[in-house]
Structure 1
């Protein structure tokens, strides 16, 4: 038998065995890689935003009535007349004149003050509509904070959707974080 032929056969058999073993090993390694990471917990990540709205209510408001007699002449005159009449009842002679003048002065002062108090209390009420802009807080989900285990190690990622019980793993060991899209033709 030819030695070269024998060596070629042995070398060929070893090469075929090596290639087959390597292919089998790769198949074993690929089969042993995890296809999914197990989800431990998924929490929504939210942000707060505000919406405006107008809030209105009716308010009862008191207003001072318009004063027609700014100088309070009517009260002063009426008070002076009444004070003079009362003062005239007191005393006699020149004392009567003095009492009448003092009564008129005191009555005029009192009448002026009485009219002023009455004018201050002369109010009217109206109902006025008041409105304010109110900011209402709102919440919206912007993603999910997902805790997972992969090959016995724990990790956390932010995803744009809720993953369910598992997260797919690519052949290179990276998690598939985006939601798969479905195309329709």
Structure 2
């Protein structure tokens, strides 16, 4: 029986010591956004034409070569002289003209035979007649990180009954903030 009385007194004490709570409103003094810096990855790609040499190695083609015209001039002069020697009468003029044209074409091809193909600036394809086997377009990409600032939350300072408090919140609460108030009796010693 004594144990039952002691247990009921203990339970009554516990129920009386339990805190009571209610909701009230506190005034917000400040809400400062808190930021974090994050790296956002993105791909950056470039295209480039490469030549395959006889060993199977690829070499980028970044240089732009100027076309040479000296061979066409010298070839045209030599062809004109040879054509003039061959023809006779009115055919002499035609032979000279034909010699100039054929000599110019031959001289141009000899002068520019080691030139790599050239590409127009507005097109990714080779110009007509300048494509060679062993060339292809290669795209190379790399990851670049862009830094961005993001709001992670707000450091909120608020006032409740003359006391100042600070807390972290996900969003900006505005001018007032609901607070839970807990009342609990204190035991005297």
User: What TM-score, normalized by structure 2, do the two folds share?
Assistant: 0.36
* Larger fraction in strand: 2
* Larger fraction in helix: 1
- Indicate the structure (1 or 2) with the bigger Cα radius of gyration: 1
